[in-house]
Amino acid sequence: MQRETESELMQRVAAGDTRAYRTLSDHFLDKIVAHGARLLGDPAEAEEVAQETFLRLWQGAARWRPEARLSTWLFKVAQRLCIDRLRRRREVGPDAIDRQEAGDRPSALLMRKQLAERVSQALLALPERQRAAISLAHYEGMTNPEVAEVLEISVEAVESLLARARRSLRSSLSKYYSQE
Amino acid sequence: MDTMDIMDNSKLTLGIQIHGADLSRWPEPLAEQARAWLRKNEGARHILAEAQAFEALLDQAPGHRPSPALRRAVAEIPLRHPPETATPRLPFFLASLLRGALSAAFVLLVGITAGWLSAGQDADTAPSQPVTILAAPSAQAAAEPSVEGAELEALMQLAFADELQAELEP
């Protein structure tokens, strides 16, 4: 979404325009939910975070500054809400991986599902900041400076997080992608 | 890490770890060096191919999609949280003038009321009371001979504080 369009839509949302709000929420909802689910490992909690994020969008539109980018602001809000929840509970461990791999001759669909689950579990095993960085950079397509803005750290710190995250993931998933 | 003097496989690997396997997302000077190196080195091409396979694997877990219930809930947010009716806000200097005028009017009203209530108790001091009240309302409140006048003043100050607060709130 173009920045000028974002700014126009936010001005209309600030004036109480529900259609402008729907345009923005429809555009960003999937991304916010997906990022929350990767971070929290719990789709239900991710949906709660998403709902809270868009409530803040609706109620905070009047304070919107046009020089800010809406996508980074939304992800920043969602990120903070996710971090709050993570601090309040124990992180999910990797135990589910072994249970998922049981069974003989699974169908192709089941294998794809198990592979997706394996990747999700590997992501969840990462420290939360590495997980957040890889979610934003790889899955949401953000540039490293944008990731730095969302996570409120330096670009160098983001690069370090991404390098470590990719190394860890490659180590834990090597047998699933190696071309040798 | 935006530029490298000499590209080699270890620097290519580091670049992939930081920026990913899609060279279009790299800083352009670094991407150009990587492309030049890839053209010359077969090992580099293998490194990139493996990185691309790894990222394709990551894409097998695209993430949870919003449920229909969530989509409805998010769409209904404006209905369940209607915007508050905006009251026109005065510019700051006008608001200050208004506060000053209201303060003076309040003090005058309290003074007149207190003087009127006290008129029947002490005829000798009554004419000077309005002037004393205007000069030092809080001191006057402490020295107010009339209980009814003090209570009235306290009540009106409380009500006025609420009015001022409402005026100042966004």
In sequence order, what are the residues at sequence separation of 6 or more whose Cβ sits closer than 8 angstroms to the Cβ of residue B154? B141
What percent of chain A shows pLDDT beyond 70? 87
- Residue A68: the pLDDT is 76
Task: Check whether residue A140 and residue A65 sit in a common domain.
Answer: no
In sequence order, what are the residues at sequence separation of 6 or more whose Cβ sits closer than 8 angstroms to the Cβ of residue A13? A20, A21, A24, A57, A58, A61, A64
Q: Do B55 and A138 touch (CB under 8 A)?
A: yes
Per residue in B156-170, pLDDT tens? 554 444 444 444 444
Structural domain boundaries, residue A49: 1-94
What percent of chain B shows pLDDT beyond 70? 58
Which of A54, A75, A94 represents a domain boundary (last residue)?
A94
Q: Do A25 and B75 touch (CB under 8 A)?
A: yes
Task: Check whether residue A47 and residue A75 sit in a common domain.
Answer: yes
Task: Check whether residue A167 and residue A116 sit in a common domain.
Answer: yes
Take residue B128 and report the two structure tokens written for it: 């000077």
The CA distances from residue B38 to A166, B11, B49, in Å, are 21, 12, 11
Task: Check whether residue A141 and residue A88 sit in a common domain.
Answer: no
Q: Which residue has the higher pLDDT, B98 or B37?
A: B37
Task: Check whether residue A112 and residue A176 sit in a common domain.
Answer: yes
Number of domains comprising chain A? 2
Task: Check whether residue A90 and residue A4 sit in a common domain.
Answer: yes
Contact predicate A49/A36, CB 8 Å: yes
Which of A94, A117, A139 represents a domain boundary (last residue)?
A94
Count of C-beta atoms within a 10 Å radius of residue B170: 8
Q: How far apart, in whole angstroms, are the C-alpha atoms of residue A82 and residue A91?
A: 12
Mean pLDDT across B43-54? 96
The CA distance from A172 to the nearest CA of chain B, in Å, is 11
Per residue in B115-146, pLDDT tens? 877 776 555 554 444 434 334 444 444 444 44
Per residue in A77-96, pLDDT tens? 999 999 999 988 765 544 44
Q: How far apart, in whole angstroms, are the C-alpha atoms of residue A131 and residue A164?
A: 10
Mean pLDDT across B34-39? 96
Q: Does A56 touch chain B if contact means CB atoms closer than 8 Å?
A: no
Contact predicate A92/B115, CB 8 Å: no
Residue A100 covered by a domain: no
- Residue B108: the pLDDT is 83
The CA distance from B152 to the nearest CA of chain A, in Å, is 41
Task: Check whether residue A48 and residue A73 sit in a common domain.
Answer: yes
- CA B15-A148-A30 angle, to 5 degrees, is 100
Task: Check whether residue A31 and residue A117 sit in a common domain.
Answer: no
Give DSSP secondary structure letters for A69-118.
-HHHHHHHHHHHHHHHHHHHSPPP-TTHHHHHT-SSS--HHHHHHHHHHH
What ipTM was reported for this prediction? Answer: 0.84
Residue A87 covered by a domain: yes
Task: Check whether residue A90 and residue A109 sit in a common domain.
Answer: no
Task: Check whether residue A80 and residue A165 sit in a common domain.
Answer: no
Take residue A127 and report the two structure tokens written for it: 């420290």
Task: Check whether residue A84 and residue A119 sit in a common domain.
Answer: no
The CA distance from A159 to the nearest CA of chain B, in Å, is 5
Residue A125 has pLDDT above 80, yes or no: yes
pTM of this structure: 0.69
Residue A30 covered by a domain: yes
Q: Does B89 touch chain A if contact means CB atoms closer than 8 Å?
A: no
Take residue B59 and report the two structure tokens written for it: 């894409």
- Residue B6: the pLDDT is 84
Q: Do A47 and B57 touch (CB under 8 A)?
A: no
Question: Please, which pLDDT band fits residue A43 given cuts at 50, 70 and 90?
Answer: very high
Question: Please, which pLDDT band fits residue B90 given cuts at 50, 70 and 90?
Answer: low
Residue A34 covered by a domain: yes
Q: Which residue has the higher pLDDT, B74 or A104?
A: B74
- CA A134-A129-A136 angle, to 5 degrees, is 30
The CATH number given to whatever domain includes residue A144 is: 1.10.10.10
Question: Tokens 């709902």 belong to which residue?
Answer: A51
Residue A99 covered by a domain: no
Q: Does A70 touch chain B if contact means CB atoms closer than 8 Å?
A: no
For every residue of B100-151, which 3-state class applies, written as one string? HHHHHHHHHHHHHHHHHHHCCCCCCCHHHHHHHHHHCHHHHHHHCCCHHHHH
Residue A45 covered by a domain: yes
Task: Check whether residue A4 and residue A83 sit in a common domain.
Answer: yes
The CATH number given to whatever domain includes residue A88 is: 1.10.1740.10
The CA distance from A93 to the nearest CA of chain B, in Å, is 18
Q: How far apart, in whole angstroms, are the C-alpha atoms of residue A34 and residue B133?
A: 67
Q: Do A137 and B20 touch (CB under 8 A)?
A: yes
Q: Does A154 touch chain B if contact means CB atoms closer than 8 Å?
A: no
